[in-house]
Structure 1
């Protein structure tokens, strides 16, 4: 049984199919949560919350082919809510950034991504971290593919200028 058929059955209320659907996309959802939340415990909590929210709303998914994109959207929304809370409160006495890898390249990437708006970050995560196709992003956002492409182009240009600025600062 392929992913679309599993999604179709889950939408119709088949609980076993829903569990199978979550199992199929578990790794992608966990990677998404880790990319946003930066620590495994919070990412696992996000996966649980995504599962709960998806189970409650699975009947509202209109197109089974977009099940993965729909689940990623739920995960991203939950993660963004958590990050908003983290800005107001400090968890366990540590800042959200303290769990970030010491790898310099990773830190630079995170810094560059943090300069983007939430929508731009979401676009980058979906396209480059989750390999969601432009047509799927367009369907999910309910905008034309050309708009997704132009927003992606603009966001990448912003990231490039961020890194070019860093290079110039290093040479001064």
Structure 2
């Protein structure tokens, strides 16, 4: 999420301005939805989880500290709501299917993006999907959301060392999986 100064909107929300909450929703919904889709069980669940995220945001917005990055704070709410949803027993849908759907929705990408998406769909995303949920959270936040290790620690409410450990283990598992896939195709692939 591009960090913009949302503090004036948030202040209005805290003062009970429902139009301001609608404005906050409009500014943040696309990025929130993308993260939910990366982490949620399936695309149909994403809309329901999105509703849960914004209900929770409305409920806890008064706890927001203006000295903190709003996008990181909202990412934390999203992570918790996705976890809550998963605890309710909803089945998982592979990340590959979601990427395929996004590619079909966006017909205006260039050849390089198309080739990258094919590579990601065939090699990277199936490897990410095989990670445990804890490792997948770190990888998605780090590479899909471009969060720092420190931001991830704050979002997941875990020590920085734990994030580093999960990140290292996830990359190791991704390399192993991708090397096996590349071996089947006769090439070596590396995750950096």
Given the two structures, how large is their TM-score scaled by the length of structure 2?
A: 0.67
Aligned residue number for residue 22 of structure 2: 19
Matched, 1:62 2:69: no
Provide Cα deviations, 1:14-67, integer angstroms capped at 9, x if missing partner.
444333322221111110122233654422222111111110111222345332
Structural RMSD (CA): 3.2
Distance 1:43 1:64, change over 3 A: farther
Aligned residue number for residue 124 of structure 1: 139
Provide Cα deviations, 1:100-140, integer angstroms capped at 9, x if missing partner.
13867425433212322211111111111122233322333
Quote how far apart the aligned CAs of 1:152 are.
2.0
Aligned residue number for residue 75 of structure 1: 78
Aligned residue number for residue 91 of structure 1: none
Aligned pairs, number: 164
SS of equivalent residue, structure 2 residue 68: helix
Aligned residue number for residue 177 of structure 2: 162
* Gap runs ≥5 in structure 1: 88-94
* Gap runs ≥5 in structure 2: 102-117, 187-192
Q: Is the 2:95–2:125 contact (alpha carbons within 8 Å) kept by the matching residues of 1?
A: no
1:96 is aligned, of 93, 107, 122, to 93
Structure with higher helix content: 1
Given the two structures, how large is their TM-score scaled by the length of structure 1?
A: 0.73
More displaced, 114-123 or 139-148? 139-148
